[in-house]
Amino acid sequence: MTLHPKIDALTARIRDRSARTRGTYLERMRRAAEDGPRRAHLSCGNQAHAYAAMGEDKDRLAEHRAPNLGIVTAYNDMLSAHQPFERFPDLIRDAAREAGGTAQVAGGVPAMCDGVTQGQPGMELSLFSRDVIAMAAGVALSHNTFDAAAYLGVCDKIVPGLVIAAATFGHIPAVFMPAGPMTSGLPNDEKAKVRQRFAKGEIGRDELMRAEMKSYHGPGTCTFYGTANTNQMLMEFMGLHLPGASFVNPGTPLRDALTRAATARALAITALGNEYIPVAEVLDERAFVNGMVGLMATGGSTNLVLHLPAMARAAGILLEPQDFADISAVTPLMAKVYPNGLADVNHFHAAGGLAFMIGELLEAGLLHEDVQTIAGPGLERYTKEPTLREDALIWGDGPDHSRNDKILRPVGDPFQATGGLQDLSGNLGSGIMKVSAVAPDLHVVEAPARVFHDQEAVRQAFRAGEFTEDCVVVVRFQGPRANGMPELHALTPLLSVLLDRGLKVALVTDGRMSGASGKVPAALHVSPEAALGGPLAKLRDGDVIRVDAKAGRLEVLTDGALERDAASPDLSANGHGLGRELFELFRQCAGPATQGASPLLPSEGTS
């Protein structure tokens, strides 16, 4: 299990680059931890307020000898993925009492559903909701009465926001408790075909609605491999879940047993016991490298290329776009889950899932085994699978082979030799492309540009029948400073129709497309963004653009194109309506996409 030399060198590069910021962070966490459990330092009045509603747990809390777990929950019943969390606090409180501790809901954080806001103005709040979540979790834990934190979150911005908060409170343990995916419904490829037929005008809204309701049909995470399920993968690869917890369906005995076990584990690793594991020790450069390897091996969401640098910065670790490219170059693509294939995450889990994948990657030296995790030292623990045997939760050996090689393959026989994401750079800036679902003949598109300032203008051009030739659709002024960097997933059905007509089409944008970007070659997160005068702001219709995923290039080939003045459209409409007026400060302060686009974290290191 010798570490791959390129993974070793990359990790050393990140460690050296982050030496100052990581050192400062760890010293801050050491000082925060040195006073021991915090409740003992609160006044009697402070404590009385904190315990007033705790009933039978009051005495145990006041004695300070039993650990107290703070629950930070993203529960709402508008997100299918988060609805199961409604009953988690009672389950956690009961499990905490059994383990000799206590648990309190410290606070809630917002959790918006990108599936509801896709193509709508509310999507312009989506990315910045990550930073609001981090802040809200900070408020929850600021009461300083908790010896560990349990984070209940699953979806797109929620998990990254909670990780940022966990790193900020890195002197206490942090355990992430997932809810699991919904059971399989209408196959994702069938749903996609219905969407395309609707985009063509072949069917009406009633038929579209029936298909969507059959696909998104019950509690749990959406079953395609988008950002939410990429988050869950990441939490296992980074050691923040219990092993095997990610893809167990909600409402099952095994799901409840894992939640109870996670509660007991959180209480066992506080500073009050003999196995203290502050999350600052879990979230080191090796954990983030492991997370990036998992992202590439699974062909995960492009959103995590945006979130991981922000998450890392909160722990004093500096990631750069080249890090992702270098990891992709040595990491094989081992999974095919929709939109990269026909299977959903339930099928992936049944085929061997993360336990098989982690075992294979460890054996190939592509993961750091010598990491700290919430389950204890060593990533080898995450090759185990949880099962219930006579109501007892046990971990046994995970699968040593794939049960379906159309979904999951070993390192030695992957779907492709390199990872599912490709870094792009050139005279148009830097960006990222999810190539795992894109046909090989579309990895290079060179064609005239069609330039738009929002996705509605693209829709109108499509309806008017304007797309009749190969083209590169440029949708600019969609970055964090312009309008909060919304996902442009509503363009996927339209552009897919053009591909089905035999046209070679690519998308270039300073916005996002999510983990559901599918078969459209899309250069995303282009930075510098157009709103800051980036090269995209200088393009005009007809400029020849080359999007080359093979060579990792993103270029305009038209002479003189970048010598023009930058376009400066009226973006005032992005500043009001549906709460957007409340986020003006976030838009003004957002960092570049290459560093996580956060308004909270310094763009040049962590002080």
How far apart are alpha carbons 321 and 339 in whole angstroms?
A: 24
Are residues 421 and 340 in contact, defined by beta-carbon separation less than 8 angstroms?
Answer: no
The model's pTM is: 0.94
The count of structural domains within the chain is 2
| Rounded average pLDDT over 424-440 | 92
What percent of the chain has pLDDT above 70? 98
CA 244 to the chain's CA centroid: 18
Residue identified by tokens 């080939």 is 557
Among 119-123, 130-134, 556-560, name the one with the lowest average pLDDT: 119-123
155 is in an annotated binding site: yes
Query: What value does the mean pLDDT take over residues 49-60?
Result: 90
Tell me: pLDDT of 131 over 80.
yes
Lowest model confidence (mean pLDDT) among 90-94, 489-493, 578-582: 489-493
pLDDT score recorded for residue 391: 86
**In-domain check, residue 601:** no
**3-state secondary structure labels for all residues of 258-320:** HHHHHHHHHHHCCCCCCCCCCHHHHCCHHHHHHHHHHHHHHCCCCHHHHHHHHHHHHCCCCCC
> In the structure encoding, which two tokens stand for residue 544, read together?
């020849």
- What is the pLDDT, as a whole number, of residue 59? 86
Rounded Cα distance, 82 and 16, in Å = 39
pLDDT tens digits along 91-101: 999 999 999 99
Asked whether residue 544 is assigned to any structural domain, the reply reads yes
Q: What is the pLDDT of residue 107?
A: 98
431 and 556 together in one domain = yes
Kindly state whether residues 312 and 427 are assigned to the same domain: no
One domain, residues 311 and 426:
no
- pLDDT tens-place string over residues 386-411: 999 988 999 999 999 999 999 999 99
Of 139, 317, 135, 298, which is closest to residue 231 (Cα–Cα)? 298
Contact criterion met (CB below 8 Å) for 149 and 265: no
pLDDT of 515 > 80? The answer is no
C-alpha to C-alpha distance for 104 and 536, rounded to whole angstroms: 49
In a domain, 290, yes or no: yes
Cα 532 to its chain centre, rounded Å, is 26
Cβ atoms within 10 Å, residue 22: 22
Residue 547 in domain: yes
> What mean pLDDT value characterizes the chain?
94
Flag whether pLDDT at 39 surpasses 90: no
Identity of the amino acid at 217:
H
Query: Torsions phi, psi of 408, nearest 5?
Result: -140, 130
- Greatest extent of the chain over all pairs of C-alpha atoms, in Å: 76
Indicate whether 465 and 580 sit together in one domain: yes
The C-alpha atoms of residue 387 and residue 529 are separated, in whole angstroms, by: 48
The winner for highest mean pLDDT among 62-76, 155-169, 329-343 is 155-169
Quote helix, strand, coil % in the chain, to nearest 5. 45, 15, 40
Whether the pLDDT of residue 603 is over 80: the answer is no
- Which CATH number is 449's domain given? 3.50.30.80
In this structure, the answer to whether residues 141 and 265 fall within a common structural domain is yes
**Same domain as 246, residue 311:** yes
Paired with 416 in beta bridges are 333
pLDDT above 50: residue 184: yes
Calpha distance 146→69 (Å, rounded): 6
Q: 44: annotated binding-site residue?
A: no
What per-residue confidence (pLDDT) applies to 607?
A: 35
Residue linked to tokens 């584990």: 265
Cα→Cα distances 73→140, 165, 280, 308, 605, Å: 10, 12, 21, 21, 29
Any idea which residue has 């979540």 for tokens? 133
Residue 555's φ and ψ, nearest 5 degrees, are -140, 150
Q: Which domain holds residue 488?
A: 421-595
408 assigned to some structural domain: no
Cβ 257 vs Cβ 249: under 8 Å? no
Residues 375 and 446 in one domain: no
Tokens of 176: 């992430």
Question: Which of 28, 51, 605 has the alpha carbon at shortest distance from 278?
Answer: 28
The confidence band for 37, taking pLDDT boundaries of 50, 70 and 90, is low
Please write the tens of the pLDDT for every residue from 196-253.
Answer: 898 888 999 899 889 888 888 899 999 999 999 999 999 999 999 999 999 999 999 9
State the DSSP H helix or E strand holding residue 490, giving kind and residue range, or none if neither.
none
Residue 117's CB is within 10 A of a number of other CB atoms, namely 18
Q: What single DSSP character describes residue 4? A: P
Domain-located, residue 555? yes
529 and 471 belong to one structural domain: yes
Regarding whether 127 and 238 lie in a shared domain, the answer is: yes
| Four-residue CA torsion sign, 222, 227, 233, 236 | negative
Is 27 a residue whose pLDDT tops 90? yes
Residue 328 to residue 416: CA distance in whole angstroms: 11
368 alpha carbon, distance to own chain's centre: 21
Least confident span in 115-124, 267-276, 425-434, 496-505: 115-124
pLDDT at 456: 93
Question: For the chain, give me the number of helices (H) and strands (E)?
Answer: 22, 16
Per-residue model confidence as pLDDT tens digits over 449-485: 999 999 999 999 999 999 999 999 999 999 999 999 9
Spatial distance between the Cα atoms of 496 and 368, rounded to a whole number of angstroms: 39
The pLDDT value given to residue 61: 87
Residue with tokens 């383990």: 99
Inter-residue contact 472 to 547 (CB < 8 Å):
yes
Tell whether 498 is covered by a domain: yes
Do residues 432 and 375 both lie within one domain?
no
Q: Are residues 435 and 375 in the same domain?
A: no
Flag the least confident range among 259-273, 530-544, 565-579: 565-579
Give the pLDDT of residue 241. 98
R_g over Cα of the chain: 24
Alpha carbon distance 417, 529 (integer Å): 31
Are residues 135 and 281 part of one domain?
yes
Q: Compute the average pLDDT of residues 167-179.
A: 98
Give the full edge-to-edge strand order of the sheet including 68-73.
102-108, 68-73, 148-152, 174-176
The yes-or-no verdict on residue 606 having pLDDT over 50 is no
pLDDT at 604 over 60: no
The one-character DSSP state at 437 is T
Integer Cα distance of 111 and 129 in angstroms: 8
Structural domain includes residue 517: yes
Interatomic CA distance for residues 224 and 406, integer angstroms: 16
Could you tell me which of 277, 301, 256 has the C-alpha nearest to residue 175? 277
Handedness of CA 425, 426, 429, 433 (dihedral sign): negative
8 Å CB contact between 324 and 354: no
